Structure 1
Amino acid sequence: MTVADASVVVDMLLNTGASGGGTLAQRFARGEAIRAPHLLDVEVGHTLRRFTLRGEISVDRASALLDILAVLRIRRFAHTDLLPRAFALRSNVSMYDGIYLALAEMLNAPLLTGDAALADVPGCTAAVEILPVGAATG
């Protein structure tokens, strides 16, 4: 079981990472259980919106990617139960990142992310695996 954050999911959807998205895609292909907070969908949508506003991807492509996101085998968890732990990490990470870390701690599962800053958050017991993600939008 693995917790995935928005950075690696967006990377996989856009097929931009030589290793990041590929590794997450390989985990799906192996049938590995992927978990995420409900926040994932909002963050992925926010990123796709930003790409469309910049003209980096078309609205049609973004809509298609959101359709794919909706059917990915990711079990989502409500973030309301994770808020106290995320807030406890507030001095070192944003609430958004804290939600992913709190879920990883709760499930005793590693967090897959493209954000190297999450690898060594003081006070956090979650294992974090950094996956290189692409900068291009494909």
Structure 2
Amino acid sequence: MTKSEAADLYLSTVCPNNAAGDVLFQALNADPGDFEAIKAAADAYASTQTNSAEVFDDPTILWPENIRKDIPVMSEDAFSVLSWIAQIEAATTLEETYIYPPAIGDAQTSSQRIRSRLGISSDIVESCADYQ
């Protein structure tokens, strides 16, 4: 896989996921809370997060050597977030949707290292403009 192909796959994976996560966090932080909006946002985020987990966990994707150690970190983070989303999706009341997300682990560092090594801007808004 070329650097350009890797950058395109990376952004086409993380950008929709970042956008869906933002919608969920906005719904969770809305005052007053809207149970149906939170559930809908959680469902959408689950879909994009599942895609991220699958892409980053796919052993047939041969990422460039200089980012290969970071890809499993992204996969682990995606699966961790899926567990949290599942709890929100299972909620039957608004109060049950207010669950702390998993702690940010090494994925944030790995993400920025991947971006740097693939020549992608560290600005997640700017770099995702064409991938929403």
TM-score (norm 2): 0.32
The structure with the largest strand share of the pair is: 1
User: Based on CA coordinates, which of the two structures has the bigger radius of gyration?
Assistant: 2
Larger relative contact order, structure 1 or 2 (CA cutoff 8 Å, min sep 6):
1
The structure with the largest helix share of the pair is: 2
